[in-house]
Amino acid sequence: MRPLAWAYLAAAYAFIFLPVVVLVAFSFQDGRLPVPPLRGVTLDWYAKVLSDRAVVAALWNSLAVAAVSSLVALVLGFLAAHAFARVRLPGSAALRTLIVAPMAVSSLIIGLGLLSVFNGLGIRPSLVTAGIGHVVINLPLCFAILYAAMGDHQRAAERAARDLGASEARVLWLVSAPMLAPALAAAFFLSLTFSWDEFIIAFLLTRFDVTLPVEIWSMLRSGLSPAINAVGALVFLISAGAVVLAELLLLRRRT
């Protein structure tokens, strides 16, 4: 059965990574269309993308929205998870269900709902409204990860810190957060990745300053081009870099 298992594993990895390999390969296409055959290798498309002010601005917008919204979602998710894990509230199970409910709702529904709310309040679409939308979809993820990571040993350490005179803020900052460092890192980097790649909410809640997925959609409206592959390759590189950084931080924590 071992050869069959290795064959299945190879097929699974090929199914997952073959589209990425094709995307990256044809980003170097020495031609106007990213289709076979590969006629040559050139870096002109990367130079064109990196010299395009709209693409570079969208890239920085995506990084800013992803970083800020992920940090806000992480803080709110950590505080909510800590409260539910340490305090018994009436109907806490129902309240936890309400917090994680957005994970089961389509991003389109969330985006349309937020758009209606912002229009009713007279708030114009912008990167700020897109960031709020990303907090809405990432907060349940952060809450679920952190709530699952909290255990009795952390409760004992927190109680000991309070007995020694530490304030609640110092307990959270010096005891709870360090003990949850791997879960905090995992929640943050997952939120960062999801926000970085998110399109529907960013499309609905931005207007003039757009994120990179919205800019890629605008580029696709004019047809296929190796430049789009180059942008996709850069997006994959940044996403993979975030995952590798998270793994390195967790490995360092374990050692």
pLDDT at position 70 = 93
Query: CA neighbours within 13 Å on the CB side: how many for 126?
Result: 5
The region that residue 5 occupies, defined by phi over 0 for left and psi between -120 and 50 for alpha, beta otherwise, is alpha
pLDDT at position 253 = 63
Residue from 85, 16, 80, 74 nearest 246 by CA: 74
Q: How far is CA 219 from CA 66, 215, 236, in A?
A: 21, 6, 17
Task: Render 67-78 in DSSP notation, one character per residue.
Answer: HHHHHHHHHHHH
pTM of the model: 0.81
Instruction: Report whether the peptide linkage leading into residue 226 is cis, meaning its omega lies within 30 degrees of zero.
Output: no
- Cα separation, 147 vs 80, whole angstroms: 8
Coil vs helix vs strand at 122: coil
- Cα separation, 226 vs 232, whole angstroms: 10
Number of H helices, E strands in the chain: 13, 0
pLDDT at position 255 = 62
- Domain parsing of the chain, residue ranges: 2-254
- Cα separation, 230 vs 240, whole angstroms: 15
CATH architecture of 2-254: Orthogonal Bundle (1.10)
**Other CB atoms closer than 10 Å to residue 156's CB: what's the count?**
10
pLDDT at position 143 = 92
- Cα separation, 218 vs 196, whole angstroms: 17
The ranges of the chain with pLDDT < 70 are 35, 152, 250, 252-255
Phi, psi of 171 (to 5 degrees): -65, -45
